[in-house]
């Protein structure tokens, strides 16, 4: 395990013992003090599977309202803004949001420190495209239904949701962060009024350890 992953393990184990499932993110970002090596998911660039999807779908994002969930250090949000989208990107960690501003001082992205569970009411049904990459898998199964409902509800009529996450079969073990998702868990998105448009299940050769990956698109 890398140093940053073992620190994550330590932080979330301590936090979970107190029933706190989200507080450790801010702690990790704050401790990092600007060192990208301290953040295990900081890839220093846009997500490969996001770019692949945007290019294959030949999406025209000019002036589209896009929401990036759990934006972390902002690379995916910046990429979408460069394609002409009007991007709002949020993360519950104020330090992560400050870090985005420092990394991209001339950014067109509207970065906000917001907790998914208490997001502004006017975000509901308000975005043409919602991007969820690796946030659901960073939270435990018991709060996933609320998380999925909150994310699904951001999608506007005719809008789309892209989810990229680790995947597993329901009988596979799920003991350590990131907690891979099952198809059943993801099906809950359809209860928020979305229809599943595509479901890809593949081994990710880009990431170390070649994890199993799901990439799903939903539409309202």
Ligand X SMILES: C[S@@+](CC[C@H](N)C(=O)[O-])C[C@H]1O[C@@H](n2cnc3c(N)ncnc32)[C@H](O)[C@@H]1O
Q: Which of 27, 46, 84, 134 binds ligand X (CB under 6 A)?
A: 134
Q: What character string, x for contact with ligand X (CB under 6 A) and - otherwise, covers 91-110?
A: xxx--x--------------
Of 72 and 159, the one with the shorter C-beta distance to ligand X is 72
Residues 10-49 that bind ligand X (CB under 6 A): 22, 25, 41, 47
Q: What is the DSSP letter of 60?
A: -
Taking the C-alpha atoms of residue 201 and residue 203, their distance in angstroms, rounded to an integer, is 7
Give the nearest distance from C-beta 172 to ligand X in angstroms. 20
Maximum Cα–Cα distance for the chain, whole Å?
A: 47
Contact call for residues 216 and 199 (beta carbons, < 8 A): yes
Quick check: 116 binds ligand X (CB under 6 A)?
A: yes
Per DSSP, the residues of 93-152 read -HHHHHHHHHH-TT---EEEE--GGG--GGGTT-EEEEEEESSGGGS-GGGHHHHHHHHH
Nearest by Cα to 96 from 116, 112, 118: 112
Q: What character string, x for contact with ligand X (CB under 6 A) and - otherwise, covers 137-156?
A: -xx-----------------
Of 60 and 202, the one with the shorter C-beta distance to ligand X is 202
Chain contacts with ligand X (rule: CB under 6 A) = 22, 25, 41, 47, 70-72, 91-93, 96, 115-117, 133-135, 138-139
């Amino acid at each position: 395990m890398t140093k940053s992953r073992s620190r994550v393990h330590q932080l979330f184990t301590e936090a979970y013992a107190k029933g706190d499932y989200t507080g450790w993110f801010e702690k990790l970002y704050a401790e990092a003090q600007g060192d990208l090596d301290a953040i295990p998911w900081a890839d220093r660039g846009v997500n490969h599977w996001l770019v692949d999807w945007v290019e294959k779908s030949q999406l025209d994002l000019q002036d589209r309202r896009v929401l990036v969930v759990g934006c972390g250090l902002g690379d995916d949000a910046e990429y979408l803004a460069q394609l002409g989208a009007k991007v709002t990107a949020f993360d519950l960690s104020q330090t992560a949001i400050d870090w985005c501003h420092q990394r991209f001082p001339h950014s067109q992205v509207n970065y906000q420190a917001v907790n998914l569970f208490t997001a502004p009411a006017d975000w509901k049904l308000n975005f043409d495209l919602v991007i969820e990459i690796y946030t659901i898998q960073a939270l435990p199964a018991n709060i996933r239904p609320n998380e999925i409902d909150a994310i699904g509800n951001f999608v506007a009529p005719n809008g789309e949701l892209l989810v990229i996450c680790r995947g597993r079969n329901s009988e596979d073990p799920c003991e350590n962060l990131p907690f891979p998702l099952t198809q059943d868990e993801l099906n809950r998105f359809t209860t928020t009024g979305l229809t599943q448009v595509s479901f890809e299940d593949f081994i990710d050769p880009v990431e170390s350890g070649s994890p199993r990956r799901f990439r799903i698109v939903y539409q309202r």
